[in-house]
Amino acid sequence: MDLRQTIEEIVEKHLPDSSHFVVDVQIVKKGNKKSLQILIDADHGINIDSCALVSRAVGEEIEAKELMDTAYIMEVSSPGVDFPLSSRRQYQKNIGRNLRVSLEEGKDTEGKLTEVEQTGIQLLVKKKEKGKKAVEETLSIPFNQIKKSIVLVSFK
């Protein structure tokens, strides 16, 4: 097992409860220092206290097990709005929000996420035809055709 996987397992073990989940763990080398970037989220949003709790517990275990051989900086945070959705659980959390989905074929689609299924998602998209009113239609997109999905933030 590699270091990234080991740290991900440690993070999972120290999450506050089952509503929290790991989004990503990255080990980035910056010059002679390493940066450990941990992204966590929760089904109903995350707060700074959860990030601090995970940071302390994970840091202590990494030190106790001497997993990092050099000095490192650890950041525990939630994914920002510009961070692509990467798991079914993240899609589930964002039902009802508008997404921009980039497909493997190179096309982008925008619509309201209405459902998350085992193999993909459903978006409610507006189709415009010349001289006619826009019509809404449901579009099913399999996960294996999604290159990247971003939540569109509305300030209305």
> Which whole number is the average pLDDT over 111-127?
95
Q: How confident is the model at residue 2 (pLDDT cuts 50, 70, 90)?
A: very high
Looking at residue 21, which CATH number applies to its domain? 3.30.300.70
Asked whether residue 156 is domain-assigned, the answer is no
Buried b (16+ CB within 10 A) or exposed e, 138-147: eeebeeeebe
Does 97 lie in the same domain as 70?
no
Quickly state the pLDDT bin for 10 (edges 50, 70, 90).
very high
Q: Is residue 135 part of a domain?
A: yes
- What are the φ and ψ backbone dihedral angles of 26, each rounded to 5 degrees? -130, 140
**Domain presence at residue 54:** yes
- 155 token code pair: 């300030």
Mean pLDDT over 3-18 rounds to 95
Q: Do 21 and 72 fall within a single domain?
A: yes
| 120 pLDDT more than 90 | yes
Domain span including residue 11: 3-77
Closest CA to 98 of 118, 86, 81: 81
Looking at residue 66, what DSSP letter applies?
T
Evaluate whether residue 7 is within a structural domain.
yes
Question: Residue 78 and residue 38: Cα distance in Å, rounded?
Answer: 8
| Residue in the structure block whose two tokens are 């109903």 | 44
How many structural domains are present in the chain? 2
Report pTM.
0.81
